[in-house]
A and B are shown apart, each in its own frame.
Chain A
Amino acid sequence: MSKKLIFEMSSVGRTGYRFPDLDVPDLPLKDQVNSSLLRESIPVLPEVSEVDIIRHYNGLSKRNFGLDSGFYPLGSCTMKYNPKINEDVGSLPGFTNIHPLQSEDSVQGFLELIFETTKSLSEITGMKWGTLQPFAGAHGEFTGMKLFKAYFKKRDELHRTKVLVPTSAHGTNPASATIAGFHIEEIQADERGLVSVESLKNQLTDDVAGIMLTNPSTLGLFEKDIIEIAGLVHEAGGLLYYDGANMNAIMGKVRPGDMGFDVIHLNLHKTFSTPHGGGGPGAGPVLVSERLVDFLPVPDVKKDGENYFLDYNKADSIGRVSGFYGNMAVLVKAYAYIITMGSDGLKKASEYAVLNANYLKEKLKGTFHLYYDTTCMHEFVLSAKKMKEELGISALDIAKGLLDYGVHPPTIYFPSIVPEAMMIEPTETESKETLDYFVKTMLEIYQKAKDNPEELHEAPRNTPVRRVDEVMAVKQPILKWHAE
């Protein structure tokens, strides 16, 4: 059954909320403001009761799959459990009711939280200092690329406009570097799936500004040659950017700063357990090495004795990247997670994330083609290429088949260097039983592919809607509801 839109439930005269009565004089608006400013058009908003609202959204939530409903091995997205205490502390009135332009003296709690979170994240990543302003990973990448620019401007090296990005990188990497004013050159992977040091050498020309890497890469492989790569890039006068999407593999084990990176963004909504909220709000803090500290956005948060203050006095800063201080509600939850886990827990989290991934990989690789057959980090990539050729079952069919088992599919068709890719990231918060259930499900799907492939082509059957017509959505875009 398709679900009504809230607009289709509307009935003239209903309301879901009662405002207090107006207790100051109710003077005609046009006596107080130029009537040419007043609105005449009447928007069509729903008129529903509070009961309608809660049933509508509760109904919608039943048509949505969240991590709390089941396994969510969406590669590169680190769908780990979102602890409930974080939601509780996130809604403390001493946080929610604070205005961003209150006096410094009245927001010491927030400033301390920003300071402490920046300090912890700097330690975890091996960096010097950072900013929590960026609202999401891509926003962090953009901030990092602006830091590159500021650095080269200061050194009078603005001819450095080339940023190297692996073909397997997240799409945001080249997009972020481009809007920051760089041009992109792709780096090819070698037969190991790693950055080819030999071809990298040829790309390190005079105009190179740096390189953006995810390590472990989107293939779930650690770039073993990272020390050499960092040396080469620095020698060529470039900088190294670390896409922290895969930080969940290495906390307490190895730090991007120690690998030689100059800038890193983190996705707090991945590694640091804050919820993804169906696509946001997230948070993409940026941490930097010593050489880039002066360029960080304003305001910075500093400590003077017992007092915290906002520092705008940074001559070389790239400026503001967001309206205020970032998605504070997300930062509060991430801080709660950091102190919950501590140095010992964060390390264990990464160890178990890698353990879980390798276990799944071993269990599945006999049946599904493991594209790079080696030890993986927190995720690994299977290829359905053979299945497609031999059985006509694609990665998409497998993904849709999984939906009927109450499992969220892996990331599919990414990274593009693996044909029919299925990128699986179990995370550390899943038990062996859950992993075993996933293995059993995948094996059943494989069997189905052999015995009854039609069933997979037609999957899913038990979901609120079945496969949707994406082409029609593009060809005849309907992007809002229209009153009949």
Chain B
Amino acid sequence: MFSYLPQTETDIREMLKVIGVNSIEDLFKDIPVEILKKTPLDIPEGISEYEVLKRLKGLSEKNRQGLSFMGCGSYDHLIPSVVNHVLQLPNFYTAYTPYQAEISQGILQSIFEFQTLVCELTGMEVSNASLYDGHTAASEAITMALNTRKKADRILVSGTIHPNTRAVIETFFSDNPVKIEEIETKDCVTSLDALRETIDESVAAVLVQTPNIYGWTEDLTGFADLVHENKALLIISSNPMSLGILKSQADWGADIAIGGTQPFGLSTYFGGPSVGYISTGTKLTRKMPGRIVGQTKDVDGKRAFVLTLQAREQHIKRQRATSNICSNQALAAMASGVYLSTVGWNGLKTAASQSFQKAHYLYKRLTEELGLKPLADQDFFNEFTLIIPEADRVLTDMESQGVFAGVGLGQFFPDQKNAVTIAVTEKRSREEIDAYVDLMKGVLK
């Protein structure tokens, strides 16, 4: 009846005999009878595979797909076919964490390659095997800073980081004596002057994001010097796709680089899985959270890979570990690794610069032809924020015509309810972008 349960009546009889009990119930005798479940669980009985398919297909069809111009941390980029074919190789997806190195070289090597790719892109020296997402990576990076600057108790966070990152950080540190303070912004980017006003040696880390929540790029010239003069660590979060044409975190002088790799080979999937990346300088290697893969040799002298520096981790250090992380996002990290290896540097530059060009093309048309105003006069990568009168209605009207026209920032910032962040990727054709403009023209009153 249940295709994943191979036990036949005969098997069960023989097994019970070997065990020396009369019934399966006898095996549960240690459960106090008062709490034994006497009635079936109040969920429907099992169904056939075909019925499951129909039910899930029905649910998936209750979601509406459309032409997406949405970003703010999740992007609709092209995904080469080969990525999903690799992810379907059963010895990858049905494996556990690679504890037994001898039979886990595939996963271990793929993680080693992922670590290398992250280092190349961010310009940093070391990377771990992945974290949950770019938002939780921020909490882990701050923890690294606090473990490095033990006497410091303030964390300065730019007012332009993703509000969900901010929310995750607030939750993470809410029962910790550390103070999370916001750096003031000017024209929707982080103000270096404001940072200078507030920073001192009580600060463990400064967190900025570029491109920021509005899509604007932050000119971080002078940030690293100021932060380092005060002995703090600079954490820079970036959409890694932007690193195809924009300065890397290392170029800006960051101590820790973080972000989410969803733009590399992962669909938007209602927000997950993504992959958090974290990379840093060799000095901080032993403060990193989570799994790290290293290269070594086997007894025959052959190159081999293995989980390493485990003395940082929870299964060894328990309450003194650098982080509680155990499972990470290995298979999703592999997707990003396959993506980067497939497209190469030229392909990445193509995806990044086409996204840039197409976003600028749309920006130009919307501002020049439709007279829409940007929220601030700033540079951007592939997303930008415009003030759209009656934003909610406009977004709804656009959606009813099959276009997800952007992310209304009112959901994050109540005082910016007409601000809409619009993202364009290389996947959108000129025809689609032009159609967007035409639709918008009709929808605006």
Interface residue? B372 (CB, 8 A): no
| Inter-subunit contact A72/B308 (CB<8 Å) | no
Query: Contacts A45-B344, A62-B106, A137-B326 hold; do A319 and B426 have CB atoms under 8 A apart?
Result: no
What 1/0 mask marks residues of chain B from 279 to 315 whose CB sits below 8 Å from any chain A CB?
0000001000001111111111011111011010111
What 1/0 mask marks residues of chain B from 205 to 220 whose CB sits below 8 Å from any chain A CB?
0000000000001010
User: A221, A325, A352, A479: which has the most chain B beta carbons within 10 Å?
Assistant: A479
| Inter-subunit contact A466/B299 (CB<8 Å) | yes
Distance to closest chain B CB from A146 (angstroms): 7
Residues in B neighbouring A3, C-beta threshold 8 A:
105, 109
Residues in A neighbouring B431, C-beta threshold 8 A:
23
Residues in A neighbouring B70, C-beta threshold 8 A:
99, 101-102
| Inter-subunit contact B91/A64 (CB<8 Å) | yes
What 1/0 mask marks residues of chain A from 114 to 144 whose CB sits below 8 Å from any chain B CB?
0000001001100000000001111101100
| Inter-subunit contact B319/A324 (CB<8 Å) | no
Bound-state Cα–Cα, A87 to B268, Å: 17
Interface residue? A29 (CB, 8 A): yes
Interface hit among A233-241, A384-392, A424-432: A424-432
Interface residue? A437 (CB, 8 A): no
Residues in A neighbouring B229, C-beta threshold 8 A:
none
Q: Which of A83, A105, A135 contacts B133 (CB 8 A)?
A: A135
Query: Contacts A82-B93, A138-B314, A324-B270 hold; do A92 and B35 have CB atoms under 8 A apart?
Result: no
Query: Contacts A172-B314, A255-B37, A327-B273 hold; do A340 and B46 have CB atoms under 8 A apart?
Result: yes
| Inter-subunit contact B103/A136 (CB<8 Å) | no
Q: Which of A34, A65, A94, A252 contacts B61 (CB 8 A)?
A: A94
Residues in B neighbouring A29, C-beta threshold 8 A:
245, 353, 356
Query: Contacts A85-B52, A179-B323, A429-B4 hold; do A277 and B93 have CB atoms under 8 A apart?
Result: yes
| Inter-subunit contact B407/A281 (CB<8 Å) | no
User: B170, B295, B332: which has the most chain A beta carbons within 10 Å?
Assistant: B295
| Inter-subunit contact B46/A222 (CB<8 Å) | no
Interface residues of A in 29-73 (CB under 8 A from B): 29, 32-34, 36-48, 50, 53-54, 56-58, 60-69, 72
| Inter-subunit contact B330/A278 (CB<8 Å) | yes
| Inter-subunit contact A17/B18 (CB<8 Å) | no
| Inter-subunit contact B360/A106 (CB<8 Å) | no
Bound-state Cα–Cα, A42 to B344, Å: 11
Bound-state Cα–Cα, A465 to B404, Å: 50
Distance to closest chain A CB from B127 (angstroms): 7
Bound-state Cα–Cα, A389 to B351, Å: 61
User: A181, A259, A355, A460: which has the most chain B beta carbons within 10 Å?
Assistant: A355
What 1/0 mask marks residues of chain B from 19 to 58 whose CB sits below 8 Å from any chain A CB?
1110010111111101111001111111101001101111
| Inter-subunit contact A479/B300 (CB<8 Å) | no
Q: Which of B35, B112, B217, B329 contacts A480 (CB 8 A)?
A: B112
Interface residue? A271 (CB, 8 A): no
| Inter-subunit contact B41/A124 (CB<8 Å) | yes
Interface residues of B in 325-352 (CB under 8 A from A): 325-332, 334, 338, 340-348, 350-351
Residues in B neighbouring A480, C-beta threshold 8 A:
112, 115-116, 119, 125-127
Q: Which of B65, B292, B302 contacts A98 (CB 8 A)?
A: B65
Closest chain B residue, CB of each to CB of A32: B360
Interface residue? B68 (CB, 8 A): yes
Interface residue? B317 (CB, 8 A): yes
Query: Contacts A41-B251, A88-B53, A318-B171 hold; do A468 and B297 have CB atoms under 8 A apart?
Result: yes
Q: Which of A61, A110, A375 contacts B27 (CB 8 A)?
A: A375
Interface residues of B in 352-406 (CB under 8 A from A): 353-354, 356-358, 360-361, 379-381, 395-396, 399, 404
Interface residues of A in 265-285 (CB under 8 A from B): 269, 273, 275-282, 284
How many residue pairs link A and B with beta carbons under 8 A? The number is 692
Interface residue? A305 (CB, 8 A): no
| Inter-subunit contact A57/B327 (CB<8 Å) | no
| Inter-subunit contact A2/B94 (CB<8 Å) | no
Q: Which of A36, A60, A252, A467 contacts B41 (CB 8 A)?
A: A252
Interface residue? A190 (CB, 8 A): no
Interface hit among A200-208, A286-294, A447-455, A469-477: A469-477
Closest chain B residue, CB of each to CB of A404: B102
Q: Which of B269, B293, B330 contacts A280 (CB 8 A)?
A: B330
Closest chain A residue, CB of each to CB of B124: A480
Interface residue? B246 (CB, 8 A): yes
Query: Contacts A68-B90, A324-B270 hold; do A253 and B31 have CB atoms under 8 A apart?
Result: yes
Distance to closest chain A CB from B397 (angstroms): 12
Query: Contacts A72-B96, A175-B314 hold; do A479 and B164 have CB atoms under 8 A apart?
Result: no
| Inter-subunit contact A97/B267 (CB<8 Å) | yes
Chain B residues with a Cβ closer than 8 Å to the other chain, count:
208
Query: Contacts A135-B132, A177-B319, A355-B27 hold; do A99 and B379 have CB atoms under 8 A apart?
Result: no
Residues in B neighbouring A113, C-beta threshold 8 A:
59
| Inter-subunit contact A60/B95 (CB<8 Å) | no
Interface residue? A341 (CB, 8 A): yes
Residues in A neighbouring B175, C-beta threshold 8 A:
146, 149, 180-181
Residues in A neighbouring B44, C-beta threshold 8 A:
339, 342-343
Query: Contacts A54-B86, A253-B28, A282-B327 hold; do A37 and B246 have CB atoms under 8 A apart?
Result: yes
Query: Contacts A281-B272, A473-B295 hold; do A41 and B82 have CB atoms under 8 A apart?
Result: no
Residues in A neighbouring B430, C-beta threshold 8 A:
23-24
| Inter-subunit contact A323/B91 (CB<8 Å) | no
Interface residue? B97 (CB, 8 A): yes
Bound-state Cα–Cα, A175 to B289, Å: 12
Interface residue? B196 (CB, 8 A): no
| Inter-subunit contact B298/A467 (CB<8 Å) | yes
Residues in B neighbouring A319, C-beta threshold 8 A:
167-168, 170-171, 174
| Inter-subunit contact A328/B168 (CB<8 Å) | no
Bound-state Cα–Cα, A320 to B135, Å: 10
Q: Which of A40, A48, A276, A356 contacts B94 (CB 8 A)?
A: A276
What 1/0 mask marks residues of chain B from 420 to 439 whose CB sits below 8 Å from any chain A CB?
00000010011101000000
| Inter-subunit contact A346/B340 (CB<8 Å) | no
| Inter-subunit contact B41/A123 (CB<8 Å) | yes
Bound-state Cα–Cα, A56 to B40, Å: 49
Closest chain A residue, CB of each to CB of B332: A281
| Inter-subunit contact B308/A464 (CB<8 Å) | no
User: A97, A123, A374: which has the most chain B beta carbons within 10 Å?
Assistant: A97
Query: Contacts A278-B330, A280-B329 hold; do A479 and B294 have CB atoms under 8 A apart?
Result: yes
| Inter-subunit contact B107/A278 (CB<8 Å) | yes
Distance to closest chain B CB from A300 (angstroms): 14
Interface residue? B73 (CB, 8 A): yes
Distance to closest chain B CB from A90 (angstroms): 9
| Inter-subunit contact A339/B55 (CB<8 Å) | yes
Distance to closest chain A CB from B367 (angstroms): 13
Interface residue? B228 (CB, 8 A): no
Residues in A neighbouring B58, C-beta threshold 8 A:
109
What 1/0 mask marks residues of chain B from 160 to 183 whose CB sits below 8 Å from any chain A CB?
001011011011101110000000
Interface residue? A478 (CB, 8 A): yes
Interface residue? A188 (CB, 8 A): no
Q: List 8 A-B contacts (CB under 8 A).
A: A22-B354, A102-B63, A172-B326, A281-B328, A324-B74, A354-B27, A374-B30, A408-B100
Return the 7 tightest CB-CB contacts between A and B, nearest first.
A324-B271, A94-B60, A64-B106, A277-B331, A100-B271, A109-B62, A342-B46
In the complex, besides A345-B2, A355-B15, 6 extra interface pairs with C-beta distance below 8 angstroms are: A2-B303, A64-B105, A95-B269, A106-B404, A326-B271, A464-B105
